[in-house]
Amino acid sequence: MITPILSGIGAEAITTSRLTTRVLSSGPDDGEPVLFLHGNLSSATWWETTMLRLPARFRAVASDQRGFGEADPLAKIDARRGLGDLADDAIALLDKLNIDRAHLVGNSMGGGVVWHLMANAPDRILTVTQVSPGSPYGFGGTKDNHGTPCWDDFAGSGGGLVNPELVDRLESSDAGTDSQFSPRNVLRNFIVVPGSIPENEDGLVAGMLTTHLGQQAYPGDMVPSGNWPFVSPGIAGINNAQSPKYLGDLVERLLAPSRKPAVAWIRGDLDKVVADNAIGDPGTLGALGLIPDWPGAESYPAQPMLAQTRSVLDQYQASGGSYTETTIEGAAHVPFIECPATFDDLFHAHIENPGGNTI
Tens-digit pLDDT profile for residues 14-42: 999 999 999 999 999 999 999 999 999 99
Burial 1-33 (b: 16+ CB within 10 A, else e): eebebeeebebeebebebbebbbbbbbeeebbb
Closest listed residue to residue 56, CA positions, set 21, 26, 12: 26
Tens-digit pLDDT profile for residues 39-53: 999 999 999 999 999
Q: Is the CB of residue 226 less than 8 Å from the CB of residue 29?
A: no
Helical axes 84-96 vs 109-120, angle rounded to 10°: 70
User: At 82, is the pLDDT very low, low, confident or very high (cuts 50, 70, 90)?
Assistant: very high
3 state SS of 58: strand
Tens-digit pLDDT profile for residues 128-186: 999 999 999 999 999 999 999 999 999 999 999 999 999 999 999 999 999 999 999 99
Tens-digit pLDDT profile for residues 286-313: 999 999 999 999 999 999 999 999 999 9
Tell me the torsion sign for CA atoms 138, 141, 144, 150.
Answer: negative
Closest listed residue to residue 335, CA positions, set 13, 88, 16, 111: 111
Q: Is the CB of residue 170 less than 8 Å from the CB of residue 187?
A: no
| Predicted pLDDT of residue 78 | 98
3 state SS of 9: coil
User: At 2, is the pLDDT very low, low, confident or very high (cuts 50, 70, 90)?
Assistant: low
Q: How do strand 356-357 and strand 125-131 relate by DSSP bridges?
A: unpaired
Q: Alpha-carbon Rg of the chain, whole angstroms?
A: 19
| Beta bridge pairs of residue 130 | 106, 265
Percent of the chain with pLDDT over 70: 98
Average pLDDT (88-117) is 98
Q: How far is CA 342 from CA 151, 268, 301, 354, in A?
A: 40, 11, 33, 18
Closest listed residue to residue 71, CA positions, set 93, 104, 96: 93
Topology, domain 10-357? Rossmann fold (3.40.50)
3 state SS of 312: helix
Percent of the chain with pLDDT over 90: 96
Average pLDDT (209-226) is 98
| Predicted pLDDT of residue 354 | 76
Backbone phi and psi for residue 219, each to the nearest 5 degrees, phi listed first: -85, -10
| Dist. CA 359–CA 345, nearest whole Å | 24
pLDDT surpasses 80 at 355: no
Closest listed residue to residue 38, CA positions, set 336, 340, 359, 350: 336
| Dist. CA 233–CA 53, nearest whole Å | 39
| Dist. CA 325–CA 319, nearest whole Å | 17
| Predicted pLDDT of residue 187 | 97
| Predicted pLDDT of residue 359 | 38
Tell me the torsion sign for CA atoms 135, 138, 141, 142.
Answer: negative
pLDDT surpasses 90 at 88: yes
| Predicted pLDDT of residue 358 | 44
| Dist. CA 195–CA 215, nearest whole Å | 33
Closest listed residue to residue 190, CA positions, set 112, 198, 305, 294: 198
Q: Is the CB of residue 284 less than 8 Å from the CB of residue 161?
A: no
3 state SS of 188: helix
- Judged by average pLDDT, the poorest of 171-175, 186-190, 332-336, 353-357 is 353-357
| Predicted pLDDT of residue 357 | 47
Average pLDDT (311-331) is 98
User: At 252, is the pLDDT very low, low, confident or very high (cuts 50, 70, 90)?
Assistant: very high
3 state SS of 316: helix
Q: How far apart, in Å, do the first and last CA atoms of the chain sit? A: 42
| Dist. CA 142–CA 156, nearest whole Å | 9
| Predicted pLDDT of residue 3 | 75
Q: Is the CB of residue 105 less than 8 Å from the CB of residue 33?
A: no
